[in-house]
Amino acid sequence: GAVVSQHPSRVICKSGTSVKIECRSLDFQATTMFWYRQFPKQSLMLMATSNEGSKATYEQGVEKDKFLINHASLTLSTLTVTSAHPEDSSFYICSARGDTIYYGYTFGSGTRLTVV
């Protein structure tokens, strides 16, 4: 089945630094990837839609200059949290769809970001 690999699984960084999270589709080509953020005891909140070879589309209220998304190939999308602050601490999850009919989205295992 379709597998999405997300790395790292957890990261701790200092306030003011940047962190990059990778999302890879291992056995299929993902023309579209999605990035979510999830705070404790809450549901997943869609941050942005990443399309291969074009700019990401951000949801309302998500700062595109803070959350940089790059989808340079059909198997890799990256989310960079720039100038991270403690309030950016959260669980970040990516999801991917291939370019063929597939009856569900495949999700990565998530990245726990802690900003200290």
| Interacting residues with another protein (CB under 8 A) | 4, 6, 31-32, 34, 36, 43-46, 49, 91, 93-95, 97, 101-110, 112
Residue 48 C-beta: closest distance to another protein, Å: 10
Is the CB of 42 or the CB of 83 nearer to another protein? 42
Residue 52 C-beta: closest distance to another protein, Å: 12
Residues 80, 111, 34, 31, CA torsion sign: positive
CB 33 within 8 A of CB 47: no
Tokens of 39: 């705070």
Nearest-CA neighbor of 71 among 9, 21, 2? 21
Is the CB of 79 or the CB of 93 nearer to another protein? 93
